[in-house]
Each structure stands twice: as C-alpha cells, then as structure tokens.
C-alpha cells in the first residue's frame, strides 16, 4: 500500500508518472518503519482482502500523535474509507494516551485537506519546516 501511496504523491507533485527509482528514493527519504508499536501504528483499510487505504500515527512526546501516510486509492475515494480510517486512528490515539493530533500536508492534496477539516481538524500556523508542508492541522482529543 505504501508503494502506491508514494507513487501517487510523486506523480501528483511532478505532474507526470513517477519512476520506480523516484518511489524507492522517496520511501528511503521518508521511511515508515517507525509506524509499529511502540513508536507508532499503520492502519489499513481493506475491501475484501484487498488493501484500499492507509493512515499512520507516530507517537510523539507530550501525548502528541503525528498523523501521516493518509491515503485511499483513487477508485475507492468518496466511499467513506478515509473517514473510517481517521475514526479508527483517533481510537488508537486515545487508547495510547494521545491528547493532540498534528499533521502537515501539501497544497495539491485537496481531498486530504477536505477530509481533515470534515473530521474536526483545524488549520493552524506552521509548526514545522518539513520539506513539502504547506498546510498544518491539529485536533485536540481532550474534552
């Protein structure tokens, strides 16, 4: 699923099909191997036995969770997979003592930004200087 995720990110950003070398390079530059307990989690959405989406959560200090790798394959968008992934992510976050979710995203990822807003995230001023970050969102889970 992460291969497909990086393929689409690169393709959209470059405005042309990605290459295998670019995908491998991006996966090395932004590894996902910390998305396992005790440092995080990667959730998969499935349609039957086929993965159709994912979302990651990194456990950060001070009860903060960093949302990453939010993705639903194009053919399954607008079917509720993204919203269900975010619901489950919040459950996992709460179960791990996380009280604040943070994420950053690119300007061209309009669908993701719309999902975050509909799921109660608020756009805030920049809180990091990540290479591709153009929008920053937070959601408090307390209260």
Q: Please report, for the domain that includes residue 83, its CATH number.
A: 3.40.630.30
Q: Is 2 helix (H, G, I), strand (E, B) or coil?
A: helix
Quote the DSSP letter at residue 76: G
Is residue 21, in this structure, part of any structural domain at all? no
With the C-alpha atoms ordered 124, 128, 134, 137, is the resulting torsion angle positive or negative?
Answer: negative
DSSP sequence for 45-68: EEETTEEEEEEEEEEEGGGEEEEE
- pLDDT, tens only, 81-122: 999 999 999 999 999 999 999 999 999 999 899 999 999 999
Q: Is residue 58 part of a domain?
A: yes
Whether 82 maps to a domain, the answer reads yes
- C-alpha–C-alpha distance, residues 143 and 139, integer Å: 11
Is residue 107 domain-resident? Answer: yes
pLDDT in tens, the chain (143 residues): 889 989 998 998 899 999 999 999 999 988 899 999 999 999 999 999 999 999 999 999 999 999 999 999 989 899 999 999 999 999 999 999 999 999 999 999 998 999 999 999 999 999 999 888 999 999 999 86
Q: Which residues form the domain of 84?
A: 32-140
Structure pTM?
A: 0.91
What's the domain count of the chain?
A: 1
Residue 30 confidence (pLDDT): 87
**Tokens 């086929």, residue located:** 50
Residue 4's nearest CA partner among 57, 56, 51, 36 is: 51
Q: What percent of the chain has pLDDT over 90?
A: 83
Q: Using DSSP, how many helices (H) and how many strands (E) does the chain show? A: 4, 6
């Amino acid at each position: 699923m992460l291969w497909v995720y990086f393929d689409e990110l690169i393709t959209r950003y470059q405005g042309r099909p990605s290459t295998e070398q670019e995908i491998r390079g991006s996966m090395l530059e932004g590894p996902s191997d910390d998305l396992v307990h005790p440092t995080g989690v990667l959730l998969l959405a499935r349609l039957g036995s086929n993965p159709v989406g994912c979302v990651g959560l990194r456990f950060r200090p001070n009860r903060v969770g960093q949302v990453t790798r939010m993705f639903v394959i194009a053919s399954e968008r607008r079917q509720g997979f993204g919203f269900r992934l975010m619901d489950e992510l919040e459950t996992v976050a709460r179960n791990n003592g996380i009280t604040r979710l943070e994420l950053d995203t690119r300007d061209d990822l309009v669908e993701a930004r719309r999902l975050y807003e509909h799921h109660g995230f608020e756009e805030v001023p920049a809180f990091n200087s990540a290479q591709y970050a153009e929008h920053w969102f937070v959601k408090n889970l307390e209260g």
